[in-house]
Amino acid sequence: MSLRNIGHRLYQGEVSFDFVGKRKIWYSISAVIVLVAGIGLAMGLHLGIEFKGGSVYTVHKPGLSASQAKDTADKIIGSNTALAQTTDKGDVRIQVSAQESIPATTFTKEFSQAIGVQEQDINAQVIGPSWGADISKKALTGLIVFMVLVTIYMAIAFEWRMAVAALVALIHDLLITIGVYALVGFEVTPGTVIGFLTILGYSLYDTVVVFDTVKENTRGLTKQSRRTYSEAANHGLNQTLVRSINTTVVALLPVSALLFIGGGFLGAGTLNDISLALFIGLAAGAYSSICVATPLLAQLKEQAPDMKALAKRVAQRRASEAKAKAEAEARGEEFDEVEGEDGDGEQVAAGMVGQRNQPVSRARGKGRPSGKH
């Protein structure tokens, strides 16, 4: 069976996965993942030199590996806190924290002598911690403003329950991404911050697509008694399921190439900063829009008085249909579903004839002879 055929059957309701009905399972999975991410976050993020201050030394020497540069730098500063990685240009980049308090001129002189290059071949850059603190403050301010604007937009375009569900999904994605970043020990750089902000937009886009379909499916829902809000929302989620999967896979392919091939296989470590944040964030965003945002929306919506009344009518209808079906089966009769005026079907036993309301034409006798001569 092709993916296109599956998507068509999901859209038509011929196949359905009960994501909303199993929300407790998804909540439990999310809670475990967020807990693990929280543990990693409590252990602390590995902040880059741009945020905590220090010195960055870039040297170009054929044959010099990142591990050799790190060992040499560690001997000079007297600790194992130095970081070294190769760049896409073949250079080696060494980072020394400001806590080591070693002058840049001293480090450059000793490092050049140790690896056998001239001092002028080493590019030294000193970064103060105040610059990183300023960048962090601006990034946090931008994040807060973004979430406030998103909440206002969702409340106006949809409703406040959808805004709350979307905001929870965004926070869910951020916590998971930052926690995984802390667990794997990757360095947090300005590129990482860009990745964090990028995944927010993607996560929101996927959630809005699902919510728009849910909104269409639940319009005028209280006028019928065939399905509850949760069931209608789950149907809308299934209609957009294949689209969400396709969008996520297409987005993850280039990011995976950057992370695993560029950063891992080819050794371009600078690509890891943004690619890991994007990879984890895109996957978490797709998961949250399906398994967190929509089930949470349905849960909030079911608390409304009109939806409680609808759920009660649906339960009563199904109970009466089950009873009528059982009685018909006891008599050996079959059931046919008759469509009502409000779009609801009614189960009646085959062969049973009841009174049916027929449309009466007001002009039935107009212009006809009366039959009297």
| Per-residue model confidence as pLDDT tens digits over 186-232 | 778 777 877 787 887 877 888 888 898 899 888 888 888 888 999 99
Taken in order of first residue, the domains within the chain and their CATH numbers are: 3-47+131-306 (1.20.1640.10), 54-127 (3.30.70)
Q: How far is CA 250 from CA 94, 155, 260, 279, 345, in A?
A: 35, 30, 16, 12, 41
Whole-number pLDDT of residue 270: 59
Task: Find which of 44-58, 67-81, 347-361 is predicted with most confidence, using mean pLDDT.
Answer: 67-81
Q: Is the pLDDT of residue 57 over 60?
A: yes
Give tens-digit pLDDT for 11-34. Answer: 555 667 888 989 999 999 999 999
Taking CA atoms, 354 is separated from 225, 330, 349, 373, in Å, by 22, 20, 10, 38
Percentage of the chain modeled with pLDDT above 70: 80
What is the C-alpha to C-alpha distance for residues 228 and 310, in angstroms, rounded to an integer?
A: 6
Confidence at residue 296, expressed as pLDDT on a 0 to 100 scale:
94
Phi-psi region of 36 (alpha: psi -120 to 50; beta: other; left: phi over 0): alpha
Of the ranges 69-78, 166-175, 182-191, 345-354, which one carries the lowest mean pLDDT score?
Answer: 345-354
164, pLDDT greater than 70: yes
Burial (CB count within 10 angstroms: exposed 0-12, middle 13-18, buried 19+), residue 333: middle
User: Counting every residue, how long is the chain?
Assistant: 373
At residue 356, the pLDDT reads 42
Average pLDDT of the segment spanning 326-354: 55
Percent of the chain predicted with pLDDT > 90:
14
Tokens of 169: 């999904």
pLDDT at 262 over 60: yes
Predicted TM-score of the model (pTM): 0.72
Q: What pLDDT sits at residue 332?
A: 73
pLDDT band (50, 70, 90) for residue 93: confident
